[in-house]
Structure 1
C-alpha cells in the first residue's frame, strides 16, 4: 500500500482534501493532507517543500498528489522523498526554474479578476462552500517570486487530471499545457477547479487508478 501525500493549492489549506482523504484510507492506503503556511510573508516554495518532506518522513512508497499551484511544491519534493507517482489535479504544471508568477505569461494564460463563486464554487455543494469560508487564506507574494525547485522533470510516472468544468483553467487549456510541457494527454475528471470538494469520489477513483492512460512514464 502507498502513502498519498495531498498538497493543496494557493492558500495552503489541507482542508481542501478533507473529502478525499477518507476515500483513500478506506481503500487501504495512508493519506496525509499537508497544511501549508500560504499566508506567511516569510514562507515560500522552499518552506512548503520542507513541510511536505516532514509530513512524509519515514514513508517508503509515496504518491504526491497536488492541486493547482501545489504542483510547484510537489515537483520540488521529488528529490527529497521516495516518490513512486505524481498525480497533478487542475495543476499549474511548472517548468524547471520557473516561478509561479512567470507561469501565467509563459503559458499564455491571463490572470482573471472574476469573483470566487464564479470561478471556484459554482459546482461545490452549498454546505461545503460555507464550511470552507473559515479555511480560506490569501497566498503571500513570496511564493510567486521563487523558482520551482527542480532542474528537470523527475523520472516518476506522472498523471495529469483536469476538471471538465474547470472555469479557472479550462480543460482545453490544461490539455494544451500538458502536451507542450510533458507530452501527455490529460485525464478528464468531473468537476471544476475545486474538484476534490465537488466530486471527491471521482477524484479519489482517478488518484487510485493505475498510471495509464495519459501518464508520463519514464
Structure 2
C-alpha cells in the first residue's frame, strides 16, 4: 500500500455506457490508500438524458464535498468539463479521454481531432485491417483479464444518442492541475494522437502508462499511482480553448 499525502476525494466518471464498474479496481486501490473514491453511474440508457443530466449525476454523487479531483475515462471527458464549469474542483485527470473545446459536441470531436484517421494509421502500422469495424474485444479489451471481459460484455449498457449532440458548455478550463494519462497501446485513441490533442487543447504533455483503452481494468495500480499524485501536480492548462 502506498500513499503520497493527505486524503483526497477522487470522483471517477465512466465513458460510453456510463457504468461506474469500469473504475472499480482503481477506486478500490485508492480507497485502500486512505482516499475517498466516488464512482458515478451515468444515465446512459435514458434517451432524454444528455450532458446536463450527466453533470447532475456527478453533482449528486459528490454532494457537499469540497473540491474533488475529477477523473474521466474516454467519453467521460465531456462530462468532466461540464462538471468543472459548475463547481470548484481541485484537479482534472483525463484517462484515454476525449478533451472537448468550449461548445463542442462529442459527435463533432472525432472529425475535428482526426481520431478515425489516427486509428487507421495505427492499424496499418500494426499490420491490422485499417478498414475493419470496431471490435470490442480487439479494440477496447485487448489487455483486460478474461473474467472482467466476460462480466463487462454480459452487463453492457446502451448509450443514448443525445449525449453525442449536446454541446459541452464551459468558457475555459479552471486554473487547477489538469493531467492527461494515455495508454501506450490504446487502439481507439492512439497514444501519439492523444499526446497531440493534449498539447493543442491543454498545453500539457500526456503521460504514458502501460495498457490499452480500458487501463482502469487492465492496469489499475499504475493508474492509481498516477491519479494519486494528481493532487500535488502543478501543471495547469495553458488554455487552448479556441
Shorter-normalised TM range: over 0.9
TM-score norm. by structure 2 comes to 0.86
CA contact (8 A) 2:184 2:212 kept: yes
**Cα deviations across residues 160-189 of structure 1 (Å, max 9, x unaligned)?**
000011011010000011111111110111
Question: Which of 13, 18, 28 is matched with 2:19 structurally?
Answer: 13
- Partners of 2:29 and 2:140 lie apart in 1 by 22
- Correspondence for 1:36: 42
CA contact (8 A) 1:96 1:152 kept: yes
**Cα deviations across residues 59-110 of structure 1 (Å, max 9, x unaligned)?**
0230000001101000111133330010110010100000000001110222
CA contact (8 A) 1:2 1:61 kept: no
1:202 correspondence with 2:208 = no
- Correspondence for 1:191: 211
Alignment of 1:171-186 (within 5 A): 171-186=191-206
1:57 correspondence with 2:63 = yes
CA contact (8 A) 2:180 2:198 kept: yes
- Correspondence for 1:156: 176
- Partners of 2:151 and 2:77 lie apart in 1 by 25
CA contact (8 A) 1:67 1:90 kept: yes
> RMSD of the alignment, in Å?
1.7
Aligned residues: 218
Question: Match of 2:200, SS?
Answer: helix
Alignment of 1:1-218 (within 5 A): 1-110=7-116, 113-210=133-230, 215-216=235-236
Ranges in structure 1 where 5+ consecutive residues have no aligned partner = none
**Cα deviations across residues 91-150 of structure 1 (Å, max 9, x unaligned)?**
101000000000011102228732111101110000111111233112111000000021
Shift of 1:22: 1.0
Computing the radius of gyration from Cα coordinates, the structure with the larger value is 2
- Partners of 1:100 and 1:79 lie apart in 2 by 17
TM-score norm. by structure 1 comes to 0.95
Ranges in structure 2 where 5+ consecutive residues have no aligned partner = 1-6, 120-132
